[in-house]
Structure 1
């Protein structure tokens, strides 16, 4: 019985493939469109995308071309081909700017890059493209129901950029005095990040990194610069504890203050 079932399934699969191949070669574009829609609704995005991709130009200038183009982009998205999906969603907006689907396509173009946005340690080109895309969407459709979602996704993406910047600052910090004063580079990198993203959830970590880097830089300074840098560390300490009085780093901050104060003339 099991062998019979396998034979039947193979026969059905072969028949289905044969029918699909004939459909691809057919000049009956109405039938192709109907079948493509059936494949799409059944979740067979590979076959649907192949058919819709060819029908875009066949039905050029008609509503079917518009629908084919949108569904083609959606099929690519559902197959996780986000780069090509983003391209075709953008092309859809360019070709059909007044379409009822233009708003959704504009959002999806940005969302594809959001899906491509990688680990913070990697290149963040797609993160920046997603941010630009969502901002464009908000500018074009300020009253859209998806503005809240776009804003939330932008916050998530910005946090990723901030964390990457934090990792870069931490790298400078860990390098110490290797081939130069990397503590100063850590301070600059952290300050730039706080200036660019003042509301980041990583603000506490970045602020303490600045204090810690200034302290280490001060105690390892040449005599002519030490007193000045120690005073800068004290100033940074007060700035830190005023903003984060219950910080997880508060004990380390107090220790830095005590050790720095003991070195001041």
Structure 2
């Protein structure tokens, strides 16, 4: 009986709350609505807050209070994990009110919303690049901000994701034994991220891909591709003379040198 009474009380409270909220929704007193929207926001009732603010952002558009409406509307969406809509309204705030007291935080949140929507490394990373661009803009605009350290940390994390995505793209073609495509992808990865922590592995894969592409080429393309593989060998051993893959690299060299009748001392 006691449990039933508690349940009945809970139902009554929910019903009363819904009734009060419906009255707010139907009200034509916009100041009252805005006050209630902020109350709902502070009480972490973000769905209700956003529903009220959805109407108010249009009512107050073009007024001196619009930036505040945009801010809480964006924050409500963020708290509901709707990062796409949150980012849209933070961008609207910055665009329409660049001098607003909310502009600095909004600029950071634009990048942070993209960061939260950034996918796993194996997927397309356009959103990650947008996050980097937005956060870098924040760093440039507000170099003395308390959030600079956090922004830079997020940028580094996102760049690591781009580096890994680039590495995976090149390795995919390599693993599929599509060496022509692998050469292009691996070369681009090294060009785009010359300081990557995967540099040695990428360079060895590039050497092996060029070697296999060359030895399996038709005759009219073989000599040029063998020469390219030879150049890649010298580049690799010059940069990583103690590589764990040095023995395999030397085997490639000997085979390529033999096919090219390359007689120069290899110093192996």
CA contact (8 A) 2:90 2:107 kept: yes
Deviates more, 1:185-194 or 1:99-108: 185-194
Q: Which residue pairs with 2:136 in the alignment?
A: 135
Q: Which residue pairs with 2:208 in the alignment?
A: 212
Gaps of 5+ in 1: 177-181
Once the two structures are superposed, what CA deviation does each residue of 1:18-45 show, in whole Å capped at 9, x if it has no partner?
1001011112333322222221112111
TM-score when normalising by structure 1: 0.85
Gaps of 5+ in 2: 262-268
- d(CA) in 2 for partners of 1:134, 1:69: 20
TM-score when normalising by structure 2: 0.84
CA contact (8 A) 1:134 1:150 kept: yes
Q: Which residue pairs with 2:159 in the alignment?
A: 158
Deviates more, 1:194-203 or 1:52-61: 52-61
2:249 pairs with one of 252, 256, 265: 256
CA contact (8 A) 1:37 1:48 kept: yes
- d(CA) in 1 for partners of 2:255, 2:55: 77
- d(CA) in 2 for partners of 1:87, 1:18: 32
- d(CA) in 2 for partners of 1:159, 1:59: 42
- Per the TM alignment, residue 206 of structure 1 is displaced from its structure 2 partner at its CA by 1.6
- Per the TM alignment, residue 223 of structure 1 is displaced from its structure 2 partner at its CA by 5.9
Residue 107 of structure 1 aligns to a residue whose secondary structure is: helix
Q: Which residue pairs with 1:6 in the alignment?
A: 7
1:33 matched to 2:44: no
Once the two structures are superposed, what CA deviation does each residue of 1:144-200 show, in whole Å capped at 9, x if it has no partner?
333343333233223322322222222322333xxxxx3132122211221122122
Deviates more, 1:101-110 or 1:158-167: 158-167
Q: Which residue pairs with 1:179 in the alignment?
A: none
Once the two structures are superposed, what CA deviation does each residue of 1:11-67 show, in whole Å capped at 9, x if it has no partner?
100110010010111123333222222211121111111122222233445554322
CA contact (8 A) 1:114 1:130 kept: yes
**Could you say if the C-alpha distance between residues 242 and 32 of structure 1 is closer, same or farther in structure 2, counting changes exceeding 3 Å?**
same
How large is the RMSD of aligned CA atoms in angstroms?
2.5
Q: Which residue pairs with 2:266 in the alignment?
A: none
